[in-house]
Amino acid sequence: MRFDPPLEEGRLIRRYKRFLADIETTDGQLLTIHCPNTGSMLNCQVEGGQVWFSRSNDPKRKLPGTWEIGETPHGRLFCVNTGRANALIEEALLAGVITELNGFTAFKREVAYGQENSRIDFRLDYPDGPAYVEVKSVTLGFDGTTVAAFPDAVTQRGAKHLRELAHLARSGVRAVQLYCVNLTGIDAVRPAEEIDSAYAQALREAVACGVQVLAYGVRLTHEEVVVDRRLEVLLGS
């Protein structure tokens, strides 16, 4: 996925009210732009850090741009825009990059399912039945390690999705939790037990029920972001 038009560069002044970020562009312009990330962005945002943003010319928009990429305190790049994760995974599915999911004959997005009024990100149809795929964007990393973690804040919604997947798996339907790790310099991903122990336990219970857990990393620059490699999944105790 290439950024078109090209992203513009700046420095982060502050992020606040979850969805707002004040930045200074390279030519000294002060802007308030949209931050499309509902998480805490723990260990990601740093005041004065480098940012790249897309600019909108839509006169109906309240904010002139969207924060797309940031630089962590550890010098890694991360994709701020969690809304891009599904598009990245779709691109990778169609290109055959996610080899464990190859061979589908059709797919649908945002399909209603489950016992708790949920929607799955992708339903892939195979000759022997469907696979339900839930996608999560991962940006939480730690200094001195190449292992990322999810979530970066307590997520009851994430635990709910795991329960839904576990129910499918117990019913004999293929269910997949897929982590799209939008952070450079990462080799593996794990549940962030220290942040949300309930989610970590729900993930292990889902695996015990037969849910397949996959993680894929990206090649990320200020010009493009592409899913390009499988990562190890560490479930812990």
17 and 102 co-located in one domain: no
**Which of 58, 79, 100 is where one domain is finished?**
79
User: Among the three residues 79, 114, 142, which one is the final residue of a domain in this structure?
Assistant: 79
Does a structural domain hold residue 1?
Answer: no
Confidence of residue 236 (pLDDT cuts 50, 70, 90): confident
CB 200 within 8 A of CB 192: yes
Does the pLDDT at position 181 exceed 70?
yes
Residue pLDDT, tens place only, 62-99: 999 999 999 998 899 999 999 899 999 999 999 999 99
Determine, yes or no, domain membership for 50.
Answer: yes
- State the pLDDT confidence band at 144, using cuts at 50, 70 and 90: confident
What SS3 state is found at 45? coil
In a shared domain, residues 226 and 171: yes
Same domain, 75 and 89: no
Query: Residues 35-48: pLDDT tens digits?
Result: 999 889 999 888 89
Residue 16 counted as domain residue: yes
Q: Beta strand pairing status for 147-150 and 188-191? A: parallel
> Number of structural domains, the chain?
2
12 and 119 share one domain: no
User: Is the residue at 69 inside a domain?
Assistant: yes
In a domain, 3, yes or no: no
**Mean pLDDT of the region 46-65:** 90
- Give 59's pLDDT tier (boundaries 50, 70, 90): confident
Closest to 205 measured CA to CA, from 160, 173, 139: 160
Range of the domain at 61: 8-79
Whether residue 237 is predicted with pLDDT greater than 60 in this model: the reply is no
H or E element in which residue 88 lies: helix 84-95
Average pLDDT over every residue of 178-186: 97
Instruction: Calculate the dihedral angle through the C-alpha atoms of 31, 36, 41, 43, rounding to the nearest 10 degrees.
Output: -50
Shared domain check, 219 and 128: yes
Query: Is 2 inside a domain boundary?
Result: no
Rounded distance, CA 94 to CA 77, Å? 25
**CA–CA dist 222, 139 (Å, integer):** 16
Token output for 233:
């999944």
228 and 140 in a common domain: yes
With respect to residue 26, please indicate whether it lies within any of the assigned structural domains: yes
What CATH number has the domain bearing residue 59? 2.40.50.580
Query: Cβ distance 152 to 199 under 8 Å?
Result: no
